[in-house]
């Protein structure tokens, strides 16, 4: 009863202060998510000159510490935008060019990698794989560079897109070499301090442990990311410069504000920073800049965004720069569905009649695939895409996809995506299925991969892979 009264009082105060009604809906949405599903995290929404920020749940369940907008949490791959900005800052200082080949900075670069430039690393178009080691494995700079150079490229530099943490770690190494400063020290001097950010980094802010969110995987205490196996000056190179930075929603908002002017980057540098350099996969419709993804919106505006996470911590950073809307969200106990939260908040602001909602799959309601009414459809789908036979996949699309979904993309794109997915699931064992009102989600034994299908009249109306 006390909590209910407090919520009503807060809503009343918001209205009295002229707060945007969309913020009330966001607050009710996240408060309900906390009550029903133990959501913990913080959000900051800036919309048409007003700012709403609030924390929900606990940043440390054992100590009963509340999660607030000042709680320090891991931002994951949102780190990449700092690496991108730092490289551009060095270019502004005349110390490098993004067109430079990596052979300028590393000796004995193999022949297949001679054509890789800093631009390729920045845009995930160098051909390096996503990762080459565990985030917390101890490794020296020399060992990391050698390991990266020994990797076979997935494609010739500049010919395709493959999201790669490896490329961004190499950028961090180049940054240290060129600037003669440690990675975090350079960011602190040229990015964070000018933006007024004092609680962002790896170790230099001197974070108090009690202020750092503890990570949780389900009910299990995973610990704090900065108390894992790190070097004295931050994570080792499997994580450094591509992820792992700690910050708060308030700090990231300062970063957003600093980027609106030329305090950090010049107009020319920002043109590269937000450039639509390469499509994030054939037909994706979104493009990668230098540490940011660039999306067109249905309103003919631009969304500049990035998220990051490790399956425990998650951060989403949405900047609708043409519409004066920014959403920053963090959680220390993520679920797959939480990746939609920031977008739900943004839609609540943009669409007056929109009511945010999030359907959470209940693992306790999962049933074996062979006991599901969709058993035949699921096994047919998995068997067909795993075959790699385009003729069979095409026939399945014609028979199982509803017309509107089939026509959403060219047949060639359907075939390419499903063939690639088939390669991913070919050696996985079907485990369980979660049924919901729109369809179902397939889970695999020993794999985080899930396939969610939307149904319409017993046929496939949509597929989402996580």
Residue 160 located in a structural domain: yes
Same domain, 230 and 327: yes
pTM for the full predicted model: 0.79
Contact by Cβ (8 Å): 279, 355: no
How many domains does the structure of the chain reveal? 2
- Tell me the helices (H) and strands (E) count for the chain, helix number first: 14, 19
Give yes or no: residues 182 and 283 share one domain: yes
Q: Is residue 285 part of a domain?
A: yes
Q: How far apart are the first and last CA of the chain?
A: 39
Task: In whole angstroms, give the CA distance from residue 420 to residue 400.
Answer: 19
Structure tokens belonging to residue 343 = 């977008």
Q: Are residues 414 and 383 in the same domain?
A: yes
Both 328 and 389 in one domain: the answer is no
Same domain assignment for residues 174 and 292: yes
Q: Are residues 399 and 343 in the same domain?
A: no
Last residue of a domain, one of 350, 373, 403: 350
Confirm whether 112 is domain-assigned. Answer: yes
Contact 315, 330 (CB under 8 A): yes
Domain assignment of residue 430, given as a range: 363-465
Q: What is the DSSP letter of 191?
A: I
Domain ends where: 350, 384, 406?
Answer: 350
Strand order in the sheet with 50-56: 50-56, 41-47, 325-331, 314-320, 302-309, 293-296, 287-288, 278-279
- The number of angstroms, rounded, from the C-alpha of 443 to the middle of its chain's C-alpha atoms is 21
174: Cβ contacts below 8 Å, ≥ 6 apart: 87, 96, 102, 105, 118
Asked whether residue 429 falls in the same domain as residue 342, the answer is no
Which pLDDT score is estimated for 8? 32
Domain membership of residue 3 (yes or no) is no
Burial readout 183-220 (b: 16 or more C-beta within 10 A, e: otherwise): bbebbbebbbeebebebbbbbbbebeeebbbbbbeeee
Both 331 and 393 in a single domain? Answer: no
- Report whether 157 contacts 125 (CB < 8 A): yes
Last residue of a domain, one of 299, 328, 350: 350
8 A C-beta contact, residue 168 and residue 241:
yes
376, two tokens: 């035949």
Q: Looking at the structure, tell me whether residues 340 and 411 fall in a common domain.
A: no
Cβ atoms of residues 183 and 240 within 8 Å:
yes
CATH (domain of 437): 3.10.450
pLDDT of residue 416: 82
We report the CATH number of the domain holding residue 180 as 3.40.710.10
Query: Does any domain span residue 32?
Result: no
* Tens place of pLDDT per residue across the chain (466 aa): 333 333 333 333 333 345 789 999 999 999 999 999 999 999 999 999 999 999 999 999 999 999 999 999 999 999 999 999 999 999 999 999 999 999 999 999 999 999 999 999 999 999 999 999 999 999 999 999 999 999 999 999 999 999 999 999 999 999 999 999 999 999 999 999 999 999 999 999 999 999 999 999 888 999 999 999 999 999 999 999 999 999 999 999 999 999 999 999 999 999 999 999 999 987 888 999 999 999 999 899 999 999 999 989 999 999 999 999 999 999 999 988 899 999 999 999 999 999 998 887 666 667 887 778 888 898 899 999 999 899 999 999 999 998 878 776 778 878 888 988 988 888 888 888 888 767 888 888 877 788 888 888 888 988 877 6
The whole-number pLDDT of residue 450 equals 84
**Within-domain flag for 401:** yes
Q: What is the pLDDT of residue 371?
A: 79
Task: Say if 19 falls within a structural domain.
Answer: no
């Amino acid at each position: 009863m006390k909590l209910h009264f407090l919520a009503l009082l807060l809503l009343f105060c918001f209205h009295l202060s002229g707060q945007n009604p969309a913020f009330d809906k966001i607050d009710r949405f996240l408060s309900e998510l906390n009550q029903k599903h133990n959501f913990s995290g913080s959000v900051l929404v800036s919309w048409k000159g007003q700012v709403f920020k609030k924390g929900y749940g606990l940043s440390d369940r054992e100590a009963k510490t509340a999660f607030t907008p000042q709680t320090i949490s891991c931002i994951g791959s949102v780190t990449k935008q700092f690496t991108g900005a730092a490289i551009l800052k060095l270019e502004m200082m005349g110390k490098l060019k993004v067109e430079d080949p990596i052979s300028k900075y590393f000796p004995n670069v193999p022949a297949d990698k001679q054509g890789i430039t800093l631009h390729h690393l920045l845009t995930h178009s160098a051909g390096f794989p996503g990762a080459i080691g565990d985030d917390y494995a101890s490794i020296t700079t020399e060992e990391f560079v050698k390991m990266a150079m020994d990797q076979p490229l997935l494609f010739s530099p500049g010919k395709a897109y493959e999201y790669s943490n490896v490329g961004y770690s190499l950028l961090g190494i180049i940054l240290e070499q060129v600037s003669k400063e440690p990675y975090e020290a350079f960011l602190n001097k040229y990015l964070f301090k000018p933006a007024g950010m004092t609680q962002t980094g790896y170790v230099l802010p001197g974070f108090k442990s009690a202020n750092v969110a503890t990570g949780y995987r389900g009910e299990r205490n995973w610990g704090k990311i900065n108390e894992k196996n790190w070097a004295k000056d931050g994570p080792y190179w499997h994580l450094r410069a591509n992820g792992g930075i700690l910050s708060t929603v308030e700090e990231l908002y300062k970063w957003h504000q600093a980027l609106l002017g030329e305090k950090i980057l010049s107009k020319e540098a920002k043109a590269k920073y937000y450039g639509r350099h390469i499509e994030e996969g054939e037909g994706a419709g979104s493009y990668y800049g230098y540490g940011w993804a660039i999306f067109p919106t249905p309103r003919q505006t631009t969304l500049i965004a990035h998220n990051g996470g490790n399956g425990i911590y998650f951060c989403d950073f949405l900047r609708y720069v043409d519409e004066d809307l920014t959403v920053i969200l963090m959680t220390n106990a993520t679920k797959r569905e939480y990746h939609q939260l920031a977008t739900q908040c943004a839609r609540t602001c943009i669409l007056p009649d929109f009511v945010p909602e999030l359907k959470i799959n209940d693992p306790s309601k999962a049933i074996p695939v062979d006991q599901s009414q969709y058993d035949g459809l699921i096994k047919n789908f998995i068997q067909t895409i795993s075959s790699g036979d385009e003729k069979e996949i095409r026939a399945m699309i014609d028979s199982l996809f509803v017309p509107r979904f089939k026509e959403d993309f060219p047949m060639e794109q359907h075939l390419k995506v499903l063939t690639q997915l088939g390669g991913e699931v070919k050696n996985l064992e079907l485990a369980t299925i979660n049924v919901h009102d729109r369809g179902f989600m397939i889970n695999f034994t020993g794999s985080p991969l899930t396939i969610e299908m939307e149904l319409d009249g017993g046929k496939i109306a949509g597929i989402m892979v996580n």
